[in-house]
Amino acid sequence: METENIRNESTRTNELVIDRESGSVTTLGAFAGLETVLRASRGVLGGDTTVSARENLGQDSVTDVSFTITDNRTGDTRTIEGDLIVGSDYIRSQTMAFPTSVAMLLSASLLGMFRGTVRTAVLDAIQSGVEGASTEEVGNAIMNAINLSPEALANGQEVLAEMRRVSARTVAAPVRFDEN
C-alpha cells in the first residue's frame, strides 16, 4: 500500500499598522500592494473615509503623497509614491427615483387595463427577454403590442423628463490613489 503525502499551503493575511503620531505605516506579513496604499492614504488623512480627503485637500485637487511600508518580520521597506486625486461633486439624474416595487405595481396595474390579448403579448415579450432576447427586441415587442398613439408616447416622454429633474442627486467627489 502506497502512502501519499499531502502538503497544505497556508495563506497569511496582511495587516496594516498606522502610527498616527509619527505618520509611519507598516504591514505585518508580506507587502499588501495597492490595497495597503489605499488603506494607508485614508488613514494618514486622519480618518477611515474619503470625506477627510475631500475636506482636507479640496475638490479637483492632486496631491503628491509618499508612503513607506515596512515589513516587520524582515525590516524591508518600500516607498510608494503617487498622487492622491480628489475629483469634484457632480449632479446625476436618475429616472428611477422611486422604489422599483412601486414602478412594477404601477406598470402591472396599467397593463391590467388592456385587453387579454395585449396583456398576453406584453407578458410574452417580457418572457422572451428572460430567455435571451435583446432589450431592443423586447421593447419593440411591447410597444407593438400596446400600440400607443403618438400623443400618448409624447406624454410618456414628458413624464420621464419630469422624473429626471425631480430625481437629480449630487454625487460626492471620488477619491483615488495613482501610484507613480
Categorize the per-residue pLDDT at 14 as very low, low, confident or very high, splitting at 50, 70 and 90: very low
| Of 2-11, 106-115, 143-152, minimum mean pLDDT range | 2-11
Name the more confident of 62 and 94. 62
Helices 116-130 and 135-146 meet at what angle, rounded to 10?
180
Name the more confident of 127 and 101. 127
Categorize the per-residue pLDDT at 168 as very low, low, confident or very high, splitting at 50, 70 and 90: confident
Average of per-residue pLDDT across 76-99: 79
Q: What is the pLDDT, as a whole number, of residue 6?
A: 45
Q: Please state the domain extents for the chain.
A: 15-88, 92-171
